[in-house]
Chains A and B, each alone.
Chain A
């Protein structure tokens, strides 16, 4: 726009015949550290006279006599205008990020100066994002954006939960929408299938291809996305090819190693071994209770000789031998894991000239997982190009191809997958040596387990009782996942008249995915099985955008944007599995079904389509960039809503004033801006939920079976609606040493589209309705401080902080509580309750007296009767991150401390692991001198008279025993983590100049997740969740330990 203004001014100057005599001027241009700035452009305002600065930052120009002002500019820096009042004019330029001239990408890819925005947009640059790279770039957003809650998993290629400004929808997705260069990119998580974490689809985006990430946090910023804007939008802008007329080559290499954080691994007690109470005896011999998967057995005594599981296995070195009853080494979860490592190699070539630009990139990732026999491999190919056919027309497009292939994706739930971890955290005998299990598997290639029956040694290998050998599970019962994806766009832009630009764009995102699970013959409770899950996802968008801007008078400018779009999405899935077991062991094929002659289970098949047609527009008027008013309106017609009632309007209005222009007297105030906005956005219904259908069953005795759908569908649905306002202040203070951005936001999401759980007496398991409202309000603070800034040394601190208060205002009908999830192993639930935050943990609790747990005369705590209580809340009180960047000459050090305060988690690991006697908390000597396990346990509480309980009992750890309540295993999930540390050495330009080829080179040493500085959850990472989705937080079972990663990166630019 600035350019347009200058052109206008030039025209005006020329026509008024202001041209007169000439003179000469010179000066120097420096950056904010007073370093000379080479290549900065210096122009006479309103004329075509320009020059660039030399290596010392100096310039000289011949001036026409009418010249009054010079304009200094440099890429990435804010323009500076200086009056010509002498023969020498010097200028100091500031990085644009510290000013309001910084250009940010907003909705629909519009490039806007930050100063003209009336809503919050936070950008994360490529440098910040990839300082400590990880395969899923969304993990790298953690702690860098105020209001963004990132919960990442420690699993191989695992999912990340991405929530902006709190949970807004009770049951619909709360995950932010991702848009890559205008292409809405699917971020589905297909993990529901058998409890494996298949990761988010967004991890297909190549982190090295990202130029910047714009986070549109509030509804006003995202309003142009209408019915999919409810959860905010994360815009990803990829690198667009060179800006220089020569071939550029960029190489990148990362080698990364991982080490498990010991504070997130369970510690076992060393006093009692496998069993429950005692040994099995037979003819005077003692046998370990190998059918029992607990460590509640007899106290260790090396003088006692017993037969263990190893004594029962023919061929084992200890076969038929009695062994001393002693704790084992290598019996822990940490002994299962191998060293994870990752290699990333990437090359990008690009070139540009006056007519166009192209970029071609390839990245290869290989990640070896921590679980034995697991890996993830990924190839990413990115191509983009644009070409100016004439002055009026530009065409271009991009094409991206991703192929991912992985083995042994990590399981996360007790309904599948995580069995190995769950066993080692919950149902495990600490007297078993993992190395011996490994040896036995590789010696026999059979499922030789520690948990076997019968117990007498004979010449036949005993049958697995319940738990398989872990190595059998990982090497014979492995899963594989392959995803093939392409996404991209083509566009056509025409500028028929000045200031009018029309773009037509077609985008497509498509992938196919195949997930296969296996269980070989010999697995406990199984005759073997094989299943395949085929997924196809696609989304097509065709959009037409017209933008026009026009100046009015000297100071006014108006911009108009009009557009329309058509979106079509399709999601297909097929699932099929063998029945009755496998005919031939090790052959994993549907045809190898034992029951193939009878019948196989009915394959599941889904074909879900949806479409939205929309028209939208925005009008923005600004006055000298001092004040801007912008209004948008979008109309969406959605296929998932009832005909005749399927079109809805989503409006927004936003304004801002750069008030510092009016307060020149305040010298400490460099820039001050206030913003205010209101918006309504939505969320349409899930497809196929207007009409009830029937569900076919497997025919019985030749007769067909059909059942009523478990969900009552609703022909009166309307979209979920989010109304929000936002108010904020932005300022740059004290000679640009401090920047502040404080935002208050408030949003209410009403007409919630929910599957409510009716009484089963209705005949249905769920009803799909509009009902209920959720409120989110909060404050975001972004602070930037530069305590020191000298030529050689600079220190920057940036802080992101967010406090979100979430409240369920109402629920459908008379319900006061809505069950979001029932944790699989137990009755404990995650609920939304009116007046409470979204995501309250409900479970068994105690009776209390004066805030302390009431203990009965028998020494056991008194359980609260007949009702589940609220025993936790998953929402953090506040969260944020602090980044420190220190630079000394060419070496820089940065570290990010990421923190979350509050939010609870129920740990099934601690609950069940305690009941099976795994942890040190379950042993020791009680106050009465009697070992805890023999009746010396004194429960910490008070008796009815208010005095501390002193009655010792036999222990009853774990709520599963019915004497303790689940609340005993709810923990505060707060943490403070040293998330990223990066030391980067930028090779000096002088050195590079000697190579004659290298433009830029850097090496860096990076660590991620190095240290959990503070946490309250024992033996696990409080951040570890259950894949992603609304119910992925607040519950841990089979939690993967946290991995510290150390990486070495090399970046070379030719």
Chain B
């Protein structure tokens, strides 16, 4: 018996200490058996590209209430954004966050993974150039929304709190990058492949995209640096911009589920969404005034067989108003990032500003409108009849191009808002000020409030450069005089 006790206790002690001392497997415990340690570069590329399309095309009040600001749409019950109160849903935070983290971070990671994995140097060069084009596009959305933004120190793992770069410097660097991309893209090699849901890896199309984006960014400098704008616009046109709706940069959704559906559909058609958006009365009235063939393409008739939209800033009754047409209520509707109608408007503007890109401003203006009508599903005859009734007056180019571009941008809210900011038309403040609006139409977004707490020094430095030194929406944006 005594012996038994002895052995038992020895065994217990031994067992205890072996379990205590065998720690070899300990670090392995920290390998997540369910996580993706690696990812295909194409999967990251698509994530970044989709991030850009999701954000740019978004209709979420907490990300991109631009259609509401530009009054192609308006809000019914919850109408903070219609009244320029961006604080409650924090669109400035959402827009910033989604572009940096959903778009730029994934594009950067894709670039890193391609560099490691792509063995064909020509393909790699193309891949990196296409990634760069998408990055330039993303940054242009940021710099033209906020002004100064984190750029050189952005997306550095070691820098959680990047400093902000001067907006104009960023804008110039974006043009420089476009030049480099144009030089790098080589149609002799393939690129990206099926992961590219815009051009399916068609390098020629991406070259046109680069040139068109360059034209667009060049004209943003037109008010403050006319010579640079002119030089860059001419270079862009020479490089070959979009020439038809076939060139449009359309990101394709499969509609298989909510996340892979068009963002507008997610907001206005998906069952879990609300009925808070309706067409804006001002937009409908403008289209009705010119008997625009796009009206029935965009919206349905209301209960009393007419067209009516909501009043910005008021509480509107969704049931009484026109609804979105089948065009919008399509989960597979692509997001239009850059298109031919816009190209023609840009060319019209260039000519009107005296930049010799070829043709007359009226020719480009009419081509743009026709392309827009066709894009929205109209027919040639309808477009021609409409154009026949339109007068063009070169002296009033800003107003005429402004209005038409605004209509063409009905689903490209950010560009509709930017067009109003650049050209001054339609003059929302004068012609359709929202009820109970907090001030005038925002000229920029304030920085995300979270920057005040997380990145205070750099935020303060950026705010110090804003005219008026206040981080508010009605201070001047850098591209305006």
Which A residues have a C-beta under 8 Å from some C-beta of B? 276, 291-292, 390, 392-393, 453-454, 466, 492, 494, 496, 502, 504, 525-527, 542-544, 546, 564-566, 568, 579-581, 595, 598-599, 601, 605-611, 613-615, 637-640, 643, 646, 687-688, 690-691, 693-698, 700-708, 710, 712, 756-765, 767, 813-819, 826-827, 829, 831, 842, 865-868, 960, 962
Q: Are A564 and B44 in contact (CB under 8 A)?
A: no
Question: Measured between alpha carbons, how far is A213 from B44 in the docked complex, in Å?
Answer: 53
> Which residues of A are found within 8 Å of B451, using beta-carbon distances?
759
Q: For window 444-469 of chain B, which residues contact chain A by CB distance below 8 Å?
A: 448-458
Q: For window 101-130 of chain B, which residues contact chain A by CB distance below 8 Å?
A: 101-102, 104-106, 108-109
> Looking across the interface, which residue of chain A has its beta carbon closest to that of B38?
A694
Apart from A504-B15, A544-B19, 12 more pairs, CB < 8 Å? A494-B5, A544-B13, A607-B32, A611-B26, A637-B23, A640-B30, A700-B253, A703-B46, A712-B160, A759-B150, A761-B100, A831-B453
Smallest CB separation, A960 vs chain B (Å): 7
Quick one: given A606-B34, A640-B30, A765-B101, are A826 and B46 in contact (CB under 8 Å)? no
Q: Are B454 and A758 in contact (CB under 8 A)?
A: yes
Q: Are A390 and B88 in contact (CB under 8 A)?
A: no
> Which residues of A are found within 8 Å of B454, using beta-carbon distances?
756-759, 815, 817-819
Quick one: given A613-B23, A814-B457, are A291 and B100 in contact (CB under 8 Å)? no
Quick one: given A818-B453, A827-B449, are A694 and B274 in contact (CB under 8 Å)? no
> Which residues of A are found within 8 Å of B87, using beta-carbon distances?
827, 962
> Which residues of A are found within 8 Å of B256, using beta-carbon distances?
595, 598-599, 698
Q: Are B36 and A706 in contact (CB under 8 A)?
A: yes
| CB-contact partner of B8 in A393, A565, A819, A827, under 8 A | A393
Question: Measured between alpha carbons, how far is A813 from B369 in the docked complex, in Å?
Answer: 53
Question: Measured between alpha carbons, how far is A613 from B18 in the docked complex, in Å?
Answer: 11
Quick one: given A579-B257, A700-B253, are A693 and B32 in contact (CB under 8 Å)? yes
Q: Is B307 an interface residue (CB 8 A)?
A: no
Most B Cβ at <10 Å: residue of A566, A598, A767: A566
Shortest beta-carbon contacts, A-B, top 8: A544-B16, A763-B105, A758-B160, A564-B20, A761-B150, A706-B39, A706-B43, A639-B29
21 contacts between A and B (CB under 8 A): A291-B317, A292-B315, A504-B16, A544-B19, A564-B16, A564-B17, A566-B20, A607-B34, A610-B30, A611-B26, A640-B30, A696-B43, A703-B43, A704-B42, A759-B160, A761-B96, A763-B104, A764-B160, A815-B161, A816-B453, A962-B80
> Which residues of A are found within 8 Å of B44, using beta-carbon distances?
694, 706-708
Per-residue CB contact flags for chain B residues 329-349 toward chain A (1 = under 8 Å, else 0) read: 000000000000000000000
> Which residues of B are found within 8 Å of A842, using beta-carbon distances?
453
Question: Measured between alpha carbons, how far is A687 from B35 in the docked complex, in Å?
Answer: 12
Most B Cβ at <10 Å: residue of A607, A756, A759, A762: A759
> Which residues of A are found within 8 Å of B8, using beta-carbon distances?
393, 492, 494
Question: Measured between alpha carbons, how far is A25 from B51 in the docked complex, in Å?
Answer: 94
Q: Are B42 and A703 in contact (CB under 8 A)?
A: yes
Q: Are B272 and A698 in contact (CB under 8 A)?
A: no
> Which residues of B are found within 8 Å of A639, using beta-carbon distances?
26-30
Question: Measured between alpha carbons, how far is A125 from B390 in the docked complex, in Å?
Answer: 90
> Which residues of B are found within 8 Å of A609, using beta-carbon distances?
29-30
Q: Are A866 and B32 in contact (CB under 8 A)?
A: no
| CB-contact partner of A761 in B27, B154, B472, under 8 A | B154
Quick one: given A760-B448, A762-B160, A815-B456, are A701 and B197 in contact (CB under 8 Å)? yes
Q: Are A607 and B33 in contact (CB under 8 A)?
A: yes
> Which residues of B are found within 8 Å of A705, using beta-carbon distances?
43, 46-47, 50
> Which residues of A are found within 8 Å of B100, using beta-carbon distances?
760-763
Q: Are B159 and A762 in contact (CB under 8 A)?
A: yes
Question: Measured between alpha carbons, how far is A710 from B100 in the docked complex, in Å?
Answer: 11
Q: Is B194 an interface residue (CB 8 A)?
A: yes
Q: Are A868 and B257 in contact (CB under 8 A)?
A: no
Question: Measured between alpha carbons, how far is A612 from B50 in the docked complex, in Å?
Answer: 42
Question: Measured between alpha carbons, how far is A700 from B198 in the docked complex, in Å?
Answer: 12
Q: Is B273 an interface residue (CB 8 A)?
A: yes
Q: Are B450 and A813 in contact (CB under 8 A)?
A: no
Q: Are A544 and B12 in contact (CB under 8 A)?
A: yes
Smallest CB separation, B440 vs chain A (Å): 16
Question: Measured between alpha carbons, how far is A495 from B97 in the docked complex, in Å?
Answer: 64
Q: Is B157 an interface residue (CB 8 A)?
A: yes
Q: Are B271 and A525 in contact (CB under 8 A)?
A: yes
> Which residues of A are found within 8 Å of B431, using beta-carbon distances?
none
Q: Are B109 and A492 in contact (CB under 8 A)?
A: no
Smallest CB separation, A216 vs chain B (Å): 23
Q: Are A763 and B36 in contact (CB under 8 A)?
A: no
Q: Is B254 an interface residue (CB 8 A)?
A: yes
Q: Are A708 and B96 in contact (CB under 8 A)?
A: no
> Which residues of B are found within 8 Å of A695, using beta-carbon distances?
36
Smallest CB separation, A343 vs chain B (Å): 40
Per-residue CB contact flags for chain B residues 138-151 toward chain A (1 = under 8 Å, else 0) read: 00000000000110
Q: Are B88 and A826 in contact (CB under 8 A)?
A: yes
> Looking across the interface, which residue of chain B has its beta carbon closest to that of A867?
B452
Question: Measured between alpha carbons, how far is A815 from B160 in the docked complex, in Å?
Answer: 11
Smallest CB separation, B451 vs chain A (Å): 6
> Which residues of B are found within 8 Å of A543, using beta-carbon distances?
16
